[in-house]
């Protein structure tokens, strides 16, 4: 299997930059999402892969082909890397028709072969009847499909997608994401997608790479990364709702008592007593009660005050003050049954096993 | 009307414009897209004729192309002639003097083309020149045309540089502007009036065309 071997560092004159390092077998239709906040350097990383930026150090290889090697002074331009790039806001050529946009990458092909390929892509990307339109006469979804058809015209070895869904509003985005997923699977070209939206990673990616402040902080299968964020920064990216920092006061039988503010939290011990720990708690793992449930298996029962609440579909997200901020997600029914409101006292209940405790230096 | 001078002027302007298209387009594209540290220096060198009196430009061209200079000797060996007081000489002078009139509109037109379109073309396998001709030029042609028209018109109306470098040799370096000067010196106001009116109408027409081009975006 071909391996994309990436190890480079790129720095802008301003000092900001990005360092990337991974070795990724690129199978037929593997999709990797580079997930990071805006300004984290993920788009820069993609531009380095495409050949639009030249890193100062390191190398980029795909299989036996060297795309970039600082030591050997090799830097293939974007026209020689055989990648398909989908740009943010699509960058369609405004002076060309849909058909000529799609066929822009044609080289050394007969007119008939070009026409046949365009017809094939028009079919795949559901664009019939639009061939002679100009890009500005298309909807957002149609523009995205034209841009993708244009990017895959030459059957590139790698697809690079920069925030493919950021140019549209949310309902349209959800629709386009579905479409994008089906198209990428159908194309069977390995793809790297840059996104700031964890939903993209959860729905599109086989693998997820987390980027924070110019560094890769975690990578692995999407399942791994979302189930086991390796650091508070990773947890923030994948969307764990509450992140607490505390000090381990006692460890016994693998369980730790961790002091957060003036409360005690019980969780699996991430380190020995005396060390700092980060605790990740998902809102869906937090239960609410009006009264203390003393005779239960639950180790963490905290007296709390309701601060605020907001409906999220069939659920209600509740912000609690337990001496620290805690977010809980309960069903609407349960919320009504509890009849709680802002300022009311309640109990927050969290099983020790559903708290992810990480060592902190 | 001095048809010899008019013919010579049109020939000079046409050749100047042609050379500026060949030299100026790549230069302007480089100026519009480069981020090299010495780009402002090149920018300044291109723009300097806008600020200097034509006589200064002419003086330096004269000094650097004389038969005893390096350029003069190389030219003499290659073409068996001299640059000062020849048609080639005033052609060279007018290309240099008109550089900013062509390059600056070109460059501002190129700079207005969305950078991402250029990057998209490159990622679709297009080389630099191919990208220029299939994406940049089709999206900036009004600016390019405006630059060419301005350079042509400015060459037609040029006086000082041509006089310094070319002297005033009928049929060789005597352009319409010089002919008008001669007519006035000879107190032939009727001839000067005719030629001046012609230039005035020409200049107005050119400016009208240029401004309407600048207002017009490429048809998308």
B8-17 pLDDT tens trace? 999 999 999 9
A20-28: list long-range contacts, CB under 8 Å, 24+ apart. Answer: A20/A45, A20/A48, A20/A216, A21/A58, A21/A216, A22/A209, A22/A216, A22/A219, A24/A207, A25/A1, A26/A1, A26/A2, A26/A62, A26/A158, A26/A190, A27/A1, A27/A190, A28/A188, A28/A189, A28/A190
Helices B87-111 and B3-33 cross at an angle (nearest 10°) of: 40
Among A50, A52, A78, A163, pick the best mutation site for testing chain B contact (most B Cβ within 10 A): A78
Closest CA to A7 of A16, A15, A17, A18: A18
Give the DSSP per-residue string, A144-189. Answer: HHHHHHHHHTT--SEEEEESTTTTS-HHHHHHHHHHHHHHHHHHT-
Establish if A5 touches chain B: CB-CB under 8 angstroms. Answer: no
Query: Tell me, what's the pLDDT at A188?
Result: 85
ipTM of predicted complex: 0.80
User: Closest-CA residue in chain A for B138?
Assistant: A95
- Contact between B124 and A154 using a beta-carbon 8 Å cutoff: yes
Closest CA to A124 of A105, A84, A151: A151
Instruction: Give the bridge partners for A20, in sequence order.
Output: A8
- Contact between A104 and B139 using a beta-carbon 8 Å cutoff: no
Does pLDDT of B213 surpass 80? no
To the nearest whole Å, the CA of A291 is away from the closest chain B CA by 60
Condensed to tens digits (0 to 9), the pLDDT of residues A196-227 reads 988 788 778 889 999 999 999 999 988 888 87
Write the burial class of residue B45 (CB in 10 Å: 0-12 exposed, 13-18 middle, 19+ buried). exposed
| CB contacts, 8 Å: A134 with chain B | 220
A171-176: list long-range contacts, CB under 8 Å, 24+ apart. Answer: A172/A140, A172/A141, A175/A141, A176/A140, A176/A141, A176/A144
Q: Which helix (H) or strand (E) holds A331?
A: strand A325-331
Query: Tell me, what's the pLDDT at A208?
Result: 92
Query: Tell me, what's the pLDDT at B102?
Result: 93
Closest CA to A65 of A47, A49, A46: A49
Identify whether the C-beta of residue B144 lies closer than 8 Å to the C-beta of residue B113.
no
Model confidence at B217, in pLDDT bands (50, 70, 90)? Answer: low
Q: If you average pLDDT over every residue of chain B, what do you get? A: 90
Establish if A78 touches chain B: CB-CB under 8 angstroms. Answer: yes
Average pLDDT (B13-33) is 94
Query: Tell me, what's the pLDDT at B167?
Result: 87
Closest CA to A297 of A260, A349, A258: A349
Considering only CB atoms, B116 lies closest to which of A78, A87, A107, namely A87
> Cα B103 to the chain's mean position, in Å?
9
First vs last Cα of chain B: how many Å apart? 45
| CB contacts, 8 Å: A84 with chain B | 123
Condensed to tens digits (0 to 9), the pLDDT of residues A278-324 reads 888 989 999 999 988 877 888 899 999 999 998 888 899 999 999 88
Low-confidence residues in chain A, pLDDT < 70: 28-29, 167-171, 361
Query: Tell me, what's the pLDDT at A120?
Result: 94
Q: For residue A293, give the 3-state DSSP assignment.
A: coil
To the nearest whole Å, the CA of B106 is away from the closest chain A CA by 19
Residues in chain B, how many? 220
CA–CA dist A267, A30 (Å, integer): 36
| Pairing of the two strands A31-36 and A207-212 | parallel
| Pairing of the two strands A57-62 and A65-69 | antiparallel
Q: Residue A172: CB partners within 8 Å, gap ≥ 6?
A: A140, A141
Among B125, B131, B139, B141, pick the best mutation site for testing chain A contact (most A Cβ within 10 A): B125
């Amino acid at each position: 299997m071909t391996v994309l071997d990436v190890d480079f560092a790129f720095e802008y004159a301003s000092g900001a930059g990005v360092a990337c390092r991974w070795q990724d077998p690129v199978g037929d239709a593997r999709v990797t999402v580079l997930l990071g906040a805006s300004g984290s350097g993920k788009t820069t990383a993609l531009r380095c892969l495409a050949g639009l930026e030249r890193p100062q150090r390191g190398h980029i290889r795909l299989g036996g082909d060297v795309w970039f090697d600082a030591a050997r002074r090799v830097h293939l331009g974007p026209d020689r890397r055989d990648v398909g790039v989908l740009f943010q806001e699509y960058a369609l050529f405004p002076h060309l028709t849909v058909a000529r946009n799609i066929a822009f990458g044609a080289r050394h092909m007969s007119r008939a072969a070009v026409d046949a390929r365009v017809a094939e892509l028009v079919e795949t990307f559901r664009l019939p009847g639009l061939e002679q339109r100009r890009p500005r006469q298309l909807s957002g979804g149609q523009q995205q499909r034209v841009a993708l058809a244009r990017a895959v015209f030459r059957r590139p070895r790698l697809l690079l997608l920069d925030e493919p869904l950021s140019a549209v509003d949310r309902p349209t985005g959800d629709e386009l994401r579905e479409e994008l997923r089906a198209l990428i699977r159908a194309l069977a070209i390995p793809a790297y997608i840059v996104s700031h939206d964890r939903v993209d990673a959860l729905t599109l990616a086989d693998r997820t790479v987390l980027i924070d402040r110019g560094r890769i902080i975690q990578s692995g299968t999407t399942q791994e990364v979302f189930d086991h964020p390796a650091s508070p920064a990773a947890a923030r990216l994948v969307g764990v709702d509450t992140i607490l920092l505390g000090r381990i006061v006692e460890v016994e039988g693998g369980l730790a008592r961790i002091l957060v503010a003036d409360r005690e939290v019980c969780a699996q011990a991430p380190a020995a007593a005396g060390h700092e720990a980060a605790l990740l708690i998902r809102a869906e793992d937090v239960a609410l009660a009006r009264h203390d449930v003393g005779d239960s298996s639950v180790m963490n029962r905290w007296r709390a005050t309701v601060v605020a609440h907001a409906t999220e579909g069939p659920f209600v997200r509740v912000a609690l003050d337990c001496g620290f901020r805690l977010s809980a997600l309960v069903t609407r029914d349960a919320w009504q049954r509890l009849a709680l409101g802002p300022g009311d006292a309640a109990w927050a209940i969290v099983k020790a096993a559903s708290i992810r405790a990480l060592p902190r230096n | 009307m001095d048809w010899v001078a008019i013919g010579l002027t049109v020939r000079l302007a046409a050749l100047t414009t042609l050379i500026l298209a060949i030299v100026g387009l790549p230069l302007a594209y480089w100026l519009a897209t480069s981020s090299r540290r010495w780009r402002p220096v090149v920018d300044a060198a291109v723009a300097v004729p806008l600020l200097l009196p034509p006589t200064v430009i002419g003086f330096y061209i004269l000094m650097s192309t004389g038969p005893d200079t390096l350029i003069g000797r190389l030219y003499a060996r290659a073409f068996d002639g001299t640059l000062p007081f020849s048609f080639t000489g005033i052609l060279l002078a007018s290309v240099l003097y008109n550089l900013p009139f062509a390059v600056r509109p070109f460059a501002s037109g190129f700079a207005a083309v969305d950078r991402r379109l250029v990057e998209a073309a490159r990622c679709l396998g297009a080389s630099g020149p191919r990208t220029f001709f299939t994406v940049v030029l089709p999206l900036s042609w009004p600016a390019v045309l405006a630059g060419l028209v301005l350079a042509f018109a400015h060459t037609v109306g040029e006086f000082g540089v041509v006089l310094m470098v070319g002297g005033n040799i009928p049929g060789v370096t005597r352009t319409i502007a010089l002919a008008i000067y001669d007519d006035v010196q000879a107190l032939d106001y009727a001839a000067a009036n005719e030629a001046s009116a012609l230039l005035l109408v020409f200049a107005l027409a050119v400016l009208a065309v240029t401004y309407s081009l600048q207002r017009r975006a490429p048809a998308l």
